[in-house]
Amino acid sequence: MASPFPEPGSVLWIADPSGLAILAEALASTRELALDTESNSMFAYRERVCLVQLGLVFDPASALSPAIAIIDPLAFEALGEALSVVVEWMAPGGDPARGPRVLMHGGEYDVAVLKRELGFAPTHLFDTQAAASMLGLTRTGYASLCDELLGITVDKEQQQTNWGKRPLSGAARSYAAADVLHLPPLARIIEARVRAADLEEEVAIACRAVTEASAHEAMDEDERYWRVIGSERLSPDERARLASLVAWREREAELRDQPPGMLVPKAALLTLARRAPTEASGLEGLGLSRRLLAESAEALIAAVHHPVAPPVRGPRERPNPVVDQRRSRLKTWREVEAQRRGVTVQVVLPTRALDALAAGERDLAAVPQLGDKRIRLYGEQLAKLIR
């Protein structure tokens, strides 16, 4: 079937059901899909997926650029509606494990967000950043790889764009399209290097780990309290003030639809808990916006002087000297073996596998991210190291 897109490299902006119908028709002849998302986490209390960029590859053997479709989820009632045809394409027959291949770059965050919003994410995935890291490339960012491997300069000036605002500028749209435009040719080069280095199984395991990223969940109030670096060094009275400040910031940030950390930085919370100012002048020089000081200075000071019981943290797990000794032996061996082979330490033994072995897992087939090849190469050595 011929693609309904005019030509390779063309861009289709999808903001209504008719655009989804065009996309569904194109996906019928799509053999591979480059995928990226843009969210507004730096600008909103609860982040939203604001753009979904797709690079449609109709012939993986072709050198032509993919056709680009950019879905605007904010134009639909729900993200599920906006991505319905894409989800259907990724899981033909309802079996996501058999779906067509998706290309991503540093896809853990995108996968986590899609799982949170849809309960679904790609399972047949090639992640160019994960593969580049296994190859030992020192610069694995998308722009760096495009420059080094494709000789293409990718403009990253729009990285701080508020993707939740409409209309988006032409520069922002071009930036979004570029994030998937170069992924297919980049993947071809990296895959060739992976084959030449005989790292196909190791990279496949690393890409599968990306698909296993946990659904992205927002931090609760207790977690935000403990994330304030230095809170454990406060006095009991100061901790109570900090707990009140964190609770106030959470409520205010939700009302203003701002990220809590952008409204009142962590360092400001700590300073306020220690100083307990009684006048608005005591709020100066803390990185607070003029608008916040003008509108909420009294409320902020009131929060300082209405302390609440801080959250109770569960007991920390005590160090296990046996586990620590195993981990030390495994790390030392991994470093020596990586140097001997001229590969990265993750090629020899991924961190999750090392942690499982250090914890005492003796069934190598059950060790996460280990794989058959590493068992063949290192099974006997690993068995000795964990005894």
Residue pLDDT tens, the chain, 387 long? 455 665 666 789 999 999 999 999 999 999 999 999 999 999 999 999 999 999 999 988 887 788 999 999 999 999 999 999 999 998 766 555 566 899 999 999 999 999 999 988 898 999 999 999 999 999 999 999 999 999 999 988 888 899 999 999 999 999 999 999 999 999 999 999 999 999 999 999 999 999 999 998 878 888 889 989 899 899 999 999 999 999 999 999 999 999 999 999 999 999 999 999 999 999 999 999 999 999 999 999 999 999 999 998 878 788 899 999 999 999 999 999 999 999 999 999 999 999 999 999 999 999 999 999 999 999 999 999 998
* Residue 171: per-residue pLDDT: 92
340, 361, 251: which is closest to 302 by C-alpha? 251
Q: Give dist(CA 254, CA 250) in Å, integer.
A: 6
Domain ranges of the chain: 11-211, 221-304, 321-385
* Total count of residues recorded for the chain: 387
pLDDT at 8: 65
Domain spanning 11-211: CATH 3.30.420.10: yes
C-alpha 158/C-alpha 179 separation (Å) is 11
Token pair in block for residue 30: 């799509």
Question: What contacts 206, CB < 8 A, 6 or more positions away?
Answer: 127, 130, 131, 133, 134, 346, 350, 369
What was the pLDDT predicted at 1? 43
- CATH topology assigned to domain 221-304: DNA polymerase; domain 1 (1.10.150)
Cα distance between residue 192 and residue 213, in whole Å:
26
Query: At residue 292, what are phi and psi to the nearest 5 degrees?
Result: -65, -40
Beta-carbon contacts of residue 194 (< 8 Å; ≥ 6 apart):
131, 134, 135, 200, 203
CB within 8 Å of 18: residues ≥ 6 apart: none
How many Cα atoms sit within 13 Å of 107 on the Cβ side? 31
pLDDT at 385: 94
Q: SS3 of 98, please?
A: helix
pTM beyond cutoff 0.85: yes
**Is 12 in contact with 19 (CB distance < 8 Å)?**
yes
- 321-385: which CATH topology? DNA polymerase; domain 1 (1.10.150)
Same CATH topology for 221-304 and 321-385: the answer is: yes
Count of CA atoms in the C-beta half-sphere (13 A) of 125: 27
SS3 assignment, position 326: helix
